[in-house]
């Protein structure tokens, strides 16, 4: 995998005279039925998350966390994907899906699978995770499990902390059925007036600002703790809320609404104002899922169905407690023995001080060679964050340009940009305020940056800016020097601790020129036709990747070394998949490492027998994107922000950067070797579209955990000794 005589111009810009691959249409020479449905593939991904919760070898609180992740994932899937599918059906705009099926049929398939998975999810909690937690001393109990002392304490809690903020809403001719906010937990209550004998209905919303599960006892013991759901405490105090009434029935329900935001962009309109208007409208999207406790009586259910205008297919009857996303609130339990072993990220070798308490000059280090970062094994705080903080404080730095897609609420990255602007530097922040479910937070940051004097722009009309770029311009010896960071993940210090990502710090002049051109395009009116070391969407990325894939195909046909390795979150794009099928048919070994959706079908004779697809899930969320091509012994390897989906290739600004240091290429190569090794725990995708987990060897011993292995390797790296 050694590289020699690396050309800096990859030939993947706007000069496509030698490029004759059709990129806009699917290949008619390939058989029909070669794609897997993207929505069902996503549900298969969430099933893999659920399988982690079901795994008895994983610590108990981590299993509860995976149950919560499953629930949170499914909520977003309904709010966005199912909602969008239903909207297109209702408006008559539906077109066949990627597998050629009618959207109404796919919606039916989704419903069947989602019902199956939600029931399995509830069963995993009741029969597997909750009992395991109980054996470890962490109990989630029912009211009937409590003794008199427990109930007395909760009576006081209800009176002091809950009763004053609860708002029971009657439903009668004078009080119409109330608006039910999306994802809120609610009690549907049927009561009888003791004076008139008349039956009434009321809705009570469980406060969302309080912890979902509250501590039952006051014990300070770290070994044992009992919790009860907030709605169960409320349900057992309804007599206090409805004095003089007879409580006939009470049941828990939850509504999921269409919360996908679609902003019709107009160059003459203020984008922030348009988005804020749409965010307000999001709250009142139509219901698309109704979750109810399995014992809900027909009268109450009938009322909810009528008022919410929901179909039978959209009703999910589940055992209590609903919304196991609330298990995130168990995160405060101080039981390290029930969690993954704590591992602290190390500082990247190149950025470690040579002396104790010494300070690293990032500009000096980066000027001596590219630095490849691998988070969370290597610290984000002592690399990317420190780089930007040094740039903000350095008097020789004249300008900083950065993209911000998602960041944390107390972002030191944003604070560094503000400090730089206040110090008189030129600072440009491209804030993507259309980042789904982070829109309001990004609007808030954008306004704070503007007040500090940062030049804030919102990218190009009709495109989301998803690339992860930082560009620093510094005056050195009478000339300007560029220092850049190109990453696969967001500039978010919090998620950097749990998201696996790569980043490149470089002083390469060509990368600097590329980023200068790209930022000019994003902030002004420049239309750049060519980049040297970057592949940029939407103009060049698809064509560049297809050209690389086709080069591997031709090399294989000519008997030259060939191979393709791709790591992505999702692969859906038909043109990319068809190109991989053609490469496979030519004999190119293709390895795809995917976390989520995969519409590619591997291992099919005559179509994809040379393609292997694996998925790895664990304590960290695999988030990096890698594209590696053997290229007849002169490997071309890229990292960046783009998945192989239509939106990334056609409707987003994305950027990949080519790695050129032999050591970096070797590191990527070795990580892929480990990920694809049969001795590594993973899920394999079969030609039937079914994912199969392989976590034990033939003797029943656990296979290698890739993330644990990498953690051990990276944290034990040592600087090579210098000869004297």
Secondary structure (3-state) at 653: strand
523: left (phi over 0), alpha (psi -120 to 50) or beta: alpha
Sign of the Cα torsion 442, 443, 446, 448 reads: negative
Whether the CB-CB separation of 331 and 278 falls below 8 Å is answered with: no
Report angle CA 368, 625, 411 to the nearest 5 degrees: 70
Whether the CB-CB separation of 469 and 431 falls below 8 Å is answered with: no
Question: 400-439: b or e for each residue (b if 16 or more CB lie within 10 Å)?
Answer: bbbbbbbbbeebbbbebbbbbbeeebebbbbbbbbbeebb
Which of the following is catalytic: 121, 250, 374, 466? 466
Whether the CB-CB separation of 182 and 256 falls below 8 Å is answered with: yes
Q: Which helix or strand (DSSP H or E) is residue 639 part of?
A: strand 636-640
The structure tokens listed for 259 are 């919360």
The structure tokens listed for 170 are 């009657």
By DSSP bridging, strand 138-140 and strand 225-229 are: parallel
Whether the CB-CB separation of 387 and 362 falls below 8 Å is answered with: yes
> Could you count the other beta carbons within 10 Å of the beta carbon of residue 722?
6
- What whole-number distance in Å separates Cα of residue 316 and Cα of residue 322? 10
The structure tokens listed for 135 are 């054996």
Q: Determine the longest span between alpha carbons in the chain, in angstroms.
A: 98
Binning the chain into helix, strand and coil, the percentages to the nearest 5 are 40, 25, 40
User: What residue has token string 């509250």?
Assistant: 214
Q: Which helix or strand (DSSP H or E) is residue 594 part of?
A: strand 590-594
Among 400, 406, 407, 438, residue whose Cα is nearest residue 421: 400
Whether the CB-CB separation of 583 and 552 falls below 8 Å is answered with: yes
* Cα distance from N-terminal residue to C-terminal residue, the chain: 31
Helices (H), 158-270: 230-235, 238-241
By DSSP bridging, strand 682-685 and strand 691-694 are: antiparallel
Strands annotated E in 454-517? 455-457, 464-465, 468-476, 479-487, 499-506
The structure tokens listed for 6 are 């690396």
**701 class by beta-carbon count within 10 Å (0-12 exposed, 13-18 middle, 19+ buried):** exposed
Q: Is cis: bond before 321, omega within 30 of 0?
A: yes
Report angle CA 8, 11, 15 to the nearest 5 degrees: 140
- What whole-number distance in Å separates Cα of residue 109 and Cα of residue 162? 41
Strands annotated E in 79-236? 138-140, 169-171, 185-193, 199-205, 213-215, 225-229
Task: Verify whether residue 466 is a known catalytic residue.
Answer: yes
Listed in sequence order, the residues at least 6 apart from 534 whose beta carbon sits closer than 8 Å to its beta carbon are 486, 511, 514, 515, 518, 655, 656, 657, 658
Torsion from C-alpha of 389, 395, 397, 398, nearest 10 degrees:
120
Q: Which residues are catalytic?
A: 466
């Amino acid at each position: 995998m050694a590289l020699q005589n690396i050309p800096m111009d990859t030939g993947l810009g706007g000069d496509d005279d030698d490029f004759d691959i059709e990129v806009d249409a699917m290949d008619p020479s390939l058989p029909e039925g070669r794609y897997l449905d993207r929505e069902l593939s996503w549900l298969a991904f969430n099933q893999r998350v659920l399988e982690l919760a079901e795994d008895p070898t994983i610590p108990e609180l981590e299993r509860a966390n995976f149950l919560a992740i499953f629930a949170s994932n499914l909520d977003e899937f309904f709010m966005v994907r199912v909602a969008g599918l239903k909207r297109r059906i209702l408006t008559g705009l539906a077109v066949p899906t990627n597998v050629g099926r009618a959207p109404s049929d796919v919606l039916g398939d989704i419903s069947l699978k989602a019902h199956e998975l939600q029931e399995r999810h509830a069963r995993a909690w009741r029969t597997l995770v909750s009992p395991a937690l109980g054996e470890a001393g962490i109990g989630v109990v029912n009211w009937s499990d409590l003794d008199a002392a427990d109930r007395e304490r909760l009576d006081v809690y209800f009176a002091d902390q809950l009763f004053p903020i609860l708002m029971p809403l009657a439903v009668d001719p004078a009080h119409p059925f109330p608006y039910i906010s999306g994802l809120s937990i609610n009690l549907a209550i049927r009561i009888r007036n003791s004076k008139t004998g008349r039956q009434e209905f009321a809705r009570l919303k469980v406060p969302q600002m309080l912890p979902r599960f509250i501590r039952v006892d006051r014990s300070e013991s770290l070994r044992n703790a009992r919790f009860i759901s907030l709605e169960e405490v409320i349900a057992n105090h309804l007599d206090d809320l409805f004095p003089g009434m007879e409580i006939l029935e009470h049941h828990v329900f939850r509504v999921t609404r269409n919360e996908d935001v679609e902003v019709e962009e107009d160059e003459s309109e203020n984008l922030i104002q348009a988005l804020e208007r749409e965010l307000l409208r999001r709250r009142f999207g139509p219901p698309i899922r109704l979750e109810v406790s399995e014992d809900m009586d027909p009268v109450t259910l009938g009322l909810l169905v009528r008022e919410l205008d929901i179909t039978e297919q959209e009703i999910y009857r589940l055992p209590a407690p609903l919304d196991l996303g609330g298990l995130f609130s168990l995160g405060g339990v101080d039981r390290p023995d029930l969690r993954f072993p704590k591992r602290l990220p190390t500082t990247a070798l190149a950025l470690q001080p040579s002396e104790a308490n010494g300070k690293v000059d990032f500009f000096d280090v980066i000027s001596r060679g590219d630095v490849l970062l691998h988070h969370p094994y290597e610290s984000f705080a002592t690399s990317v964050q420190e780089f930007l903080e040094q740039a903000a404080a350095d008097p020789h730095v004249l300008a900083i340009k950065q993209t911000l897609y998602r960041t944390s609420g107390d972002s030191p990255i944003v604070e560094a940009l503000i400090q730089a602007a206040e110090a008189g530097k030129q600072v440009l922040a491209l804030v993507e305020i259309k980042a789904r479910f982070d829109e309001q937070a990004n609007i808030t940051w954008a306004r704070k940056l503007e007040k500090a004097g940062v030049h804030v722009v919102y990218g190009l009309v009709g495109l989301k800016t998803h690339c992860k770029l930082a560009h620093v311009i510094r005056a050195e010896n009478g000339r300007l020097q560029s220092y850049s960071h190109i990453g696969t993940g967001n500039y978010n210090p919090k998620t950097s601790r749990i998201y696996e990502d790569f980043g490149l710090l470089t002083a390469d002049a060509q990368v600097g020129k590329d980023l200068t051109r790209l930022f000019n395009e994003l902030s002004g009116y420049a239309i750049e036709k060519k980049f040297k070391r970057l592949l940029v969407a939407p103009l060049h990325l698809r064509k560049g990747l297809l050209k690389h894939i086709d080069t591997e195909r031709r090399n294989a046909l000519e008997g030259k070394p060939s191979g393709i390795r791709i790591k992505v979150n999702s692969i859906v794009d038909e043109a990319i998949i068809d190109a991989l099928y053609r490469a496979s048919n030519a004999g190119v070994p293709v390895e795809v490492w995917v976390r989520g959706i995969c519409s590619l079908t591997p291992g099919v004779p005559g179509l994809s027998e040379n393609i292997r697809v694996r998925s790895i899930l664990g304590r960290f969320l695999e988030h990096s994107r890698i594209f590696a091509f053997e290229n007849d012994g002169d490997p071309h390897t890229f990292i960046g922000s783009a998945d192989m989906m239509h939106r990334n290739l056609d409707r987003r600004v994305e950027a990949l950067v080519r790695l050129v240091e032999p050591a970096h290429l070797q590191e990527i190569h070795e990580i892929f070797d480990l990920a694809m090794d049969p001795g590594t725990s993973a899920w394999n995708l079969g030609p039937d579209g079914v994912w199969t987990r392989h976590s034990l060897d033939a003797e029943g011993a656990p296979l290698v955990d890739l993330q644990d292995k990498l953690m051990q390797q990276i944290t034990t790296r040592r600087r090579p000794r210098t000869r004297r």
